[in-house]
Amino acid sequence: MSKEERDITETVSWDHIISLAKDLARQIESAKYIPDIILAISRGGWVPGRLLSDYLGIETLADITINMKVRTPSYVLNKKVLIVDDIADSGKTLKKVMEFAVNNMVKDLRTATLFYKVTSIVHPNWFAEETEAWIVFPWEEYNWRRKHGERITFRGDSQC
């Protein structure tokens, strides 16, 4: 994280995530794109992937972890695949997953992210919001606060 990003850190609420996911679903529907499968990038893409699966009525939802050696899964072969992540930050993760998908003979490949930074090496087909901030998602807030030395109190619990 650069100094500039530390200076503009934004914590995003669950309600905002839902609103962004609905916006993404509307964009994808407007483009008349119907994927056979949603491939959510672990771990940031899990929640947006699940929400898009529900909003778009796409029953086949899988995840992919890029820090492991991936074998060719038959579920992407000759399929229309929508890759979903929370943010296109550097774009390196999206690029790696896109290369994996192309190398494994998907029929059609599109990408969607909740947030997009113009500095990303990948421009997603759809994104809900452009940002320059370091985004702290609700599913990572406690971990982020711990890493930055903040004490965390859970409602009804003592400080962690």
Distances (CA, A) of 139 to 3, 34, 44, 59, 71: 23, 27, 8, 23, 28
Tokens standing for residue 81 = 């695949």
pLDDT value, residue 70: 55
The CATH fold assigned to 3-147 is Rossmann fold (3.40.50)
- pLDDT of 1 > 70? The answer is no
**CA geometry: angle at 24 spanning 117 and 76, to 5°?**
90
- In degrees to the nearest 10, what's the CA dihedral of 83, 88, 89, 90? 70
Q: What is the arithmetic mean of pLDDT over 121-143?
A: 92
Question: Locate tokens 């929370």: which residue?
Answer: 86
pLDDT digits (tens, 9 = 90+) for 63-98: 888 765 555 567 788 899 999 999 999 999 999 889
Four-residue CA torsion sign, 78, 46, 127, 140: negative
What residues does each domain of the chain span? 3-147
Q: Rounded mean pLDDT of the chain?
A: 86
Range in 5-19, 73-87, 120-134 the model is least confident about: 5-19
- The pLDDT confidence band at residue 140, using thresholds 50, 70 and 90, is confident
* pLDDT for 147: 78
Ramachandran class of 53: left when φ > 0, alpha when ψ lies in -120 to 50, beta otherwise? alpha
Per-residue pLDDT, 5? 45
Using a pLDDT cut of 70, give the percent of the chain over it.
84
Examine the pLDDT at 47 and tell me if it is beyond 70: yes
d(CA 41, CA 72): 16
